[in-house]
């Protein structure tokens, strides 16, 4: 199971709760007696891959530390209609107040994990690994990239600070691929992992000659991708990016590339259908 630092997630949860609750839940306070107790069931309404169980726990515990959160499933488990993900017991007011934020996280992260699993399944049997991108929801990157891993994918760089990727604008500003790579090596002592984005066989040849570690083929057709794979012959890693879909990824993987990055994993994943139903226990 993939680890997730809940201490890094806590500020995200707190911001989400503050955004939703503000000065208080007006409707719940007006209708639900202060001492009423309840049992809430988080239930899946469709098939998919679960992600965000402990994030939901953090939501409810942040609303009311006396709530009892009892998970029946773990992240990475397969969802099916009617499956109970968790039970939460305690103040009915607290359960209703935390409901929407908990569901937002569960539905969003399970959606990312589910879509990722579909892409991973599509390339099964090839050498290609499915990567995410930085096309994430602002403020939720740590969670969405976590969900990608739960779905069987791998993370590309987390941000601009943890991996060098020379893109088209960098190349144009430097005056060429060789110049951009030399500038990177000069400013980083020559020992650094370098990836460069190209859109042609010619660009791939220049990148290889410059001594990069990975070449990203951006928006290239299958024939051109295959030409680069044949030319490189495994000397460096090859990644494909740009307009990758569930319908196209298998053929891309069969060219022999090492990685395929898919922005859709995080920018286009549909939220899973998960519900919370409150059962009143009494005072």
| CATH number assigned to the domain comprising residue 137 | 3.20.20.70
Same domain, 96 and 132: no
Task: Tell me what pLDDT residue 277 has.
Answer: 95
Same domain, 125 and 113: no
> Which residue in 157, 167, 185, 250 is the catalytic one?
167
Q: Write out pLDDT tens, residues 63-108.
A: 999 999 999 999 999 999 999 999 999 999 999 999 999 999 999 9
Same domain, 200 and 66: no
Same domain, 106 and 221: no
Q: Does residue 85 belong to any structural domain of this protein?
A: yes
Q: Is the CB of residue 103 less than 8 Å from the CB of residue 76? A: no
10 Å Cβ neighbour count for 50? 25
Whether residue 283 is predicted with pLDDT greater than 80 in this model: the reply is: no
Q: Which domain holds residue 274?
A: 6-117+270-282
| Residue 254 bears catalytic tag | no
Percent of the chain with pLDDT over 70: 99
Helix, strand, coil tally for the chain in percent (to 5): 45, 20, 35
**The two structure tokens encoding residue 111:** 């959606």
Q: Does residue 1 belong to any structural domain of this protein?
A: no
| Residue 100 bears catalytic tag | yes
Tell which residue, 169, 243, 174, 168, has the closest CA to residue 200: 168
Same domain, 124 and 11: no
Residue 209's pLDDT band (cuts 50, 70, 90): very high
Whether residue 4 is predicted with pLDDT greater than 90 in this model: the reply is: no
> Which residue in 45, 100, 129, 205 is the catalytic one?
100
Q: Write out pLDDT tens, residues 140-163.
A: 999 999 999 999 999 999 999 999
| Residue 145 bears catalytic tag | no
Number of domains making up the chain: 2
| Signed CA dihedral, 47, 49, 54, 56: sign only | negative
Whether residue 1 is predicted with pLDDT greater than 70 in this model: the reply is: no
> Which residue in 61, 206, 218, 239 is the catalytic one?
218
Task: Tell me what pLDDT residue 279 has.
Answer: 87
Whether residue 58 is predicted with pLDDT greater than 90 in this model: the reply is: yes
Q: Does residue 226 belong to any structural domain of this protein?
A: yes
| Residue 167 bears catalytic tag | yes
Task: Tell me what pLDDT residue 2 has.
Answer: 67
Q: Does residue 177 belong to any structural domain of this protein?
A: yes
Give the separation between CA 67 and CA 63, rounded to whole angstroms.
9
H-state helical runs in the chain: 6-21, 26-31, 53-63, 92-122, 141-150, 168-174, 177-187, 201-210, 222-232, 249-253, 264-267
């Amino acid at each position: 199971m993939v680890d997730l630092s809940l201490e890094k997630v806590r500020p995200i949860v707190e911001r989400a709760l503050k955004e939703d609750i503000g000065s208080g839940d007006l409707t719940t306070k007006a209708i639900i007696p202060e001492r009423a107790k309840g049992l809430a069931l988080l239930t899946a309404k469709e098939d998919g891959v679960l992600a965000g169980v402990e994030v939901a726990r953090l939501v409810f515990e942040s609303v009311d530390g006396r709530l009892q959160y009892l998970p029946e499933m773990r992240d990475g488990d397969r969802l099916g209609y009617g499956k109970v993900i968790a039970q939460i017991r305690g103040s009915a007011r607290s359960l209703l107040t935390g409901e929407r934020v908990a569901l937002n996280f569960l539905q969003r992260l399970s959606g990312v994990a589910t879509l990722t699993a579909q892409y991973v399944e599509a390339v099964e049997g090839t050498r290609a690994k499915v990567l995410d991108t930085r096309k994430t929801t602002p403020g939720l990157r740590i969670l969405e990239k976590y969900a990608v891993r739960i779905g069987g994918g791998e993370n590309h760089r987390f941000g601009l600070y943890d991996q060098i990727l020379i893109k088209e604008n960098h190349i144009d500003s430097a005056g060429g691929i060789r110049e951009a790579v030399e500038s990177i090596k000069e400013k980083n002592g020559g020992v650094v992992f370098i990836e460069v984005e190209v859109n042609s066989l010619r660009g791939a040849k220049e990148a290889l000659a410059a001594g990069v570690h990975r070449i990203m083929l951006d928006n290239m057709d299958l024939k051109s991708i295959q030409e680069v794979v044949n030319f490189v012959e495994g000397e460096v890693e090859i990644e494909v990016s740009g307009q990758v879909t569930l319908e196209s990824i298998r053929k891309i993987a069969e060219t022999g590339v090492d990685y395929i990055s898919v922005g859709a994993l995080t920018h286009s994943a549909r939220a899973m259908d998960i519900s919370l139903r409150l059962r009143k226990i009494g005072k």
